[in-house]
Chains A and B, each alone.
Chain A
Amino acid sequence: MITLNNIHKSYEMGSSKLHVLKGIDLTIDKGEFVSIMGSSGSGKSTLLNILGMLDNYDQGTYHLNGMHIVDMSEKKAAKLRNELVGFVFQSFNLISFKNAMENVALPLYYKGVKRRKRNMLAMEYLDKLGLKEWAHHMPNELSGGQKQRIAIARALISKPQVIFADEPTGALDTSTSYEVMEIMKEINNEGITVILVTHEHDIAAMTQKIIRLKDGQIDQIIRNGDLSEFRYKYSKELQTA
């Protein structure tokens, strides 16, 4: 699904150059549930932006869904973003003067779906996320958790292959964070690849694979599945005993 080969990225900071990503090699398969962790400045958000085609890279190769993502025009990148990926952000990034339903329907507008049809679909997704009765509320009338669920509905409506979430729980309290993560798991169970950036260990622990970044390089990849399997066995052993 995603193959990164020796990705480098640096930013011009005035006269000095900031080397953020120093050769990332990474493969993420279809249907994986991945979290990217690391201290601030480790390059995790930059990596996510490159993966989400919001930013370009200096060196290396990036294949998404078998396509070589390189030197794309704004127009083509916009089209790919619209068709292939969905974004969820820390600060929700809903459009303040549109109600919940209109926010959810917006990606379909750029896809050229007729108004009636996209509003119908938006209602469907809001219903799925338990927000049907909030459809006509403006974002400022909703709680953080509700806003994030709307943002998730917006990310899902264009039926993407990958969801990129940048600190999706960063602005939420613990119980709401867990609710959001439950939704993320459900999305993943439907076969959509989910990649999220977080710095909270408990959030990362809910994913299947943790990629730890340190100074622009991959420090460690932890397969959470092994751990849970071990836990499962362990608890079974305790029960039989």
Chain B
Amino acid sequence: MFDVDIWQEILATIKKNKMRTFLTGFSVAWGIFMLMVLLGSGNGLSNGVSENFKNQAVNAMWIWTGETSMPYDGLKEGRPIQFHNDDHTLLKNMKGVGAVSGRFWMGNTNLTYQGEYGQYTVMSCHPDLLEVEQYEIIEGRFINEVDIRQRRKSVVIGKDIYDALFNDKDAIGEYLKINNIPFKVVGVYTEPGSTRNRTANVPVTTAQTVFNGSNRIHNFAITNEGKTLTETKAIQENIKNTFARKHRFDPKDDNAVGMFNMMEAYLETQKIFNAIEIFIWIIGVFTLIAGIIGVSNIMLIVVKERTKEIGIRKAIGASPRSVIGLVLLESIMITTIAGYIGLVLGTGIMEVINLFVEKSYEASAATNSGRGETLFRNPTVDIGVAAMSTLLLVISGTLAGYIPAKKAARIRPIEALRDE
């Protein structure tokens, strides 16, 4: 069946009806084109948002304190809860908890280096904060264990602070004054996906000593080892209950200790994008079906128009099988070629858009210390989807041609050849 002759037969028919073939093909090409553009856009949006999640580990969790809102264990409501260093140890040893950093927050502080000064946030932390916040160290190092143990006056500054105070000079090893107390700069960092790197990190022990914090800790940033949402939720629950026992508050009291679970937020967003993807596939496939019905429709007309020709062919010895092949292959050929054109154009236009997106991303990255801000990233369709679409096309071409081909095979030569 797949010899040169049958293709020549089909090409001859297509050549004879250029406009009709074009219009038929167009509906299929359009369907595939739309599917590719929609899928690409969906991917772009999804990638863009995932990018924005990069600034924190997806398994991150934040824990902060408040006041109790329920009476518990004979204690009145409205009692403030305070974390201390022992809570850090407690968390660190808890099952399912990975990195733990306690934080002691100092609010807006004056930072001075030689003649330059500015107001920035100073946070205190444990070395583990690097993992939780997914900071990128540009120069030097982050706060380490030695800083914590020896209460060293080390500071890791955000890129914005470096730019403002150091003016491209070498900052590592220089002394920076935080509220008139000199701290040695040990590193410069940026936060991926963030546009503001205006925080200076100092060791939590140093901060407690220097800024009169005794052993208090304001909040915790941790990572957990939960792989699924249920596991994370269980770990979260465990932490909550442990703190409730230790600090004597009702485990149901959400005001006493607040928690934010990144995984939950991340999965929530993922769910939305999964839904969007399903939605896009539905729209795309239905657009495609409309195209296929168009092809089927045209092929029916083609068969009707060619009734006489098919009759002649049968009279001179064409078998029903060869007639089916003729119609089916024409249908498959139109859908495949047209669909492929749509595929190439669709992915092509998404690549062009991607080029512009990358350019604008780079432009925004240039002004924001290497980190662009975007909601749309890499809006392209991967090769697997494209391959699947091609397969879909061949199948749909077969489906589109099947009914008309059957109809053609049933044509009786004497009826076709009867003179009007």
| Chain A interface (Cβ < 8 Å from any Cβ of B) | 49, 52, 54-55, 74-75, 78-79, 81-83, 86-87, 89-91, 93-98, 106-107, 109-111, 115, 154, 158
Contacts and interface: CB of A to CB of B under 8 A. Distances in A.
A44 to B, nearest CB: 14
Contact of B316 (A55, A90, A96, A110): A110
B315 A111 contact: no
Given A74-B319, A81-B317, A93-B417, 11 more contacts: A49-B414, A78-B318, A78-B319, A79-B317, A83-B317, A95-B309, A107-B316, A109-B5, A110-B313, A110-B316, A110-B319
Contacts of B153: none
A78 B5 contact: no
B417 A89 contact: yes
Contact of B317 (A49, A90, A94, A111): A111
Contacts, number: 67
A75 B12 CA distance: 25
A154 B315 CA distance: 12
Chain B interface helix/strand/loop/mixed: helix
A110 B317 contact: yes
Nearest to A110: B317
Given A49-B414, A106-B316, A115-B5, A97 B13 contact: yes
Contacts of B314: 78, 81
A107 B318 CA distance: 8
Contacts of A75: 319-321
B413 to A, nearest CB: 5
B16 A78 contact: no
B146 interface: no
A49 B321 CA distance: 22
A110 B314 CA distance: 10
Nearest to A155: B316
B174 to A, nearest CB: 85
B322 interface: yes
Contacts of A98: 12
Contacts of A86: 316
B315 A81 contact: yes
A6 B13 CA distance: 44
A55 B419 contact: no
A74 B320 contact: yes
A86 B319 CA distance: 16
B398 to A, nearest CB: 21
B19 interface: no
Contacts of B316: 81-82, 86-87, 106-107, 110, 154, 158
A96 B320 CA distance: 21
B4 interface: yes
Interface in B13-58: 13, 15-16
5 contacts: A75-B321, A91-B419, A95-B309, A109-B5, A158-B317
Contacts of B16: 97
Contacts of B13: 97
Contacts of B312: 93-95
A115 B414 contact: no
Contact of A55 (B4, B320, B409, B414): B414
A79 B12 contact: no
A217 B320 CA distance: 33
Nearest to B410: A74
B103 interface: no
Contacts of A158: 316-317
Nearest to B9: A109
B308 interface: yes
B321 A97 contact: no
A95 B305 CA distance: 12
A154 B317 CA distance: 12
A94 B320 CA distance: 20
B313 A106 contact: yes
Nearest to B418: A45
Nearest to A75: B319
Interface string B138-170: 000000000000000000000000000000000
A93 B308 contact: yes
